[in-house]
Amino acid sequence: MALSDGVVKKVLLSYAYVAIWIFLSFTVIVYNKYILDRKLYNWPFPISLTMIHMAFCSSLAYLLVKVFKLVEPVSMSRDLYLKSVVPIGALYALSLWFSNSAYIFLSVSFIQMLKALMPVAVYSIGILIKKDPFKSDTMVNMLSISFGVAVAAYGEAKFNSWGVSLQLLAVGFEATRLVLIQILLNAKGISLNPITSLYYVAPCCFAFLCIPWIIVEFPVLKETSSFHFDFVIFGMNSLCAFALNLAVFLLVGKTSALTMNVAGVVKDWLLIAFSWSVIKDTVTPINLIGYLIAFIGVAYYNHAKLQALKAAEAQKKAQQDNVEAGKLLEERDEDGKKNETQD
């Protein structure tokens, strides 16, 4: 009975982590849309908003790592930081800038549909830099996801080519960042959790964002003298963004990255429903059919990844068993030779 209680508790905790992550991810997306949309809060400054997030998150991450010592920092040389973290920070800055900019031009529901292209972008970049091998069945799956997104775009009532371009650029930069994390950090045995990731990457990201901010947004903000910085609105928004990173830390740490992928699909459908019912965005039947095709493709991609991981683990276990069996045979042979010499 104690075992079943423990299992039930573990399952309930996993569901709680998933629910917290979905809620916070949902909140950050809708909150950002509210701030940036010209018809809502009307503060269309995506670089400034991203910089506020980065400043807030890097400050809190510094407190957690250096002051309260709740999270262990990673041993990192200056050379490794410049060659690995700086390029990742630059890509993160571009990804956040373009993805936040897209909220000004596109509906929340359509943005979620375009984000379904992430596995396609990651796989394509992996092939281009010869990190992943070309597989015809995986490529067919990627084409089906792309076809689904194209159908969803065709059915979009308020299609904006500039907004779509911004979101596609954001997906491209984010996919490159994810691939580079595997090459520049994971391959070198360095694993950053969301808190240490913010500690190292957020200040670098903030520094990179200063360049376009000075050119693009600072002159406009200087002229907008009527604007009053609302500490409650922006403070709560930044707190939600940091809490989301903490939730990712908990979700991946206590469950798995695959659980987060599945939870992400649930979140996307909830956002589409919310966008249609509450924000009153137009979601057409062609939109939904297209996204459903893309969703099936993404689900199959995640399933194939899980099967590959299981196969790799099984192979690793079989190799370990063979090594152990070999050691036992050697020990038996040695014992047999000792017995012979004693006789």
**pLDDT tens track for 190-241:** 888 888 989 999 999 999 999 999 999 999 988 876 667 889 999 999 999 9
Integer CA distances (angstroms), 314 to 141, 223, 259, 307, in order:
25, 63, 20, 10
> Which residues have a Cβ under 8 Å from the Cβ of 257 and sit 6 or more positions away?
none
Question: Tell me, what's the pLDDT at 193?
Answer: 83
- Residue 238 in any domain: the answer is yes
> Which two structure tokens, joined as six digits, stand for 303?
């399933």
Range of the domain at 19: 13-300
Cα separation, 310 vs 291, whole angstroms: 28
Question: Tell me, what's the pLDDT at 1?
Answer: 44
- Residue 202 in any domain: the answer is yes
- Residue 194 in any domain: the answer is yes
Residue among 200, 194, 212, 208 at smallest CA distance from 249? 194
Question: Tell me, what's the pLDDT at 8?
Answer: 78
- Residue 331 in any domain: the answer is no
pTM of structure: 0.85
> Which two structure tokens, joined as six digits, stand for 157?
């009532």
Q: Which DSSP symbol is given to 20? A: H
Residue among 81, 62, 82 at smallest CA distance from 73? 62
- E-state strands within the chain: none
> Which residues have a Cβ under 8 Å from the Cβ of 54 and sit 6 or more positions away?
202, 203, 205, 206, 209
Query: Cα dihedral sign for 293, 299, 302, 304?
Result: negative
Q: Is residue 174 a contact partner of residue 145, using CB atoms and an 8 Å limit?
A: no
Q: Is residue 202 a contact partner of residue 60, using CB atoms and an 8 Å limit?
A: no
- Confidence bin at 103 (pLDDT 50/70/90): very high
Question: Tell me, what's the pLDDT at 293?
Answer: 94
- Residue 65 in any domain: the answer is yes
- Residue 328 in any domain: the answer is no
- Residue 329 in any domain: the answer is no
Cα separation, 101 vs 173, whole angstroms: 14
User: What domain count does the chain have?
Assistant: 1
35-93 tens-digit pLDDT: 999 888 989 999 999 999 999 999 999 999 999 998 888 888 899 999 999 999 999 99
Q: Is residue 209 a contact partner of residue 97, using CB atoms and an 8 Å limit?
A: yes
Cα separation, 146 vs 285, whole angstroms: 18
Residue among 189, 2, 206 at smallest CA distance from 93? 206
Question: What mean pLDDT, rounded, does the chain reach?
Answer: 87
248-291 tens-digit pLDDT: 877 766 776 667 777 787 888 889 898 899 888 889 999 999 99
Cα separation, 177 vs 171, whole angstroms: 10
**120-127 mean pLDDT:** 91
- Residue 273 in any domain: the answer is yes
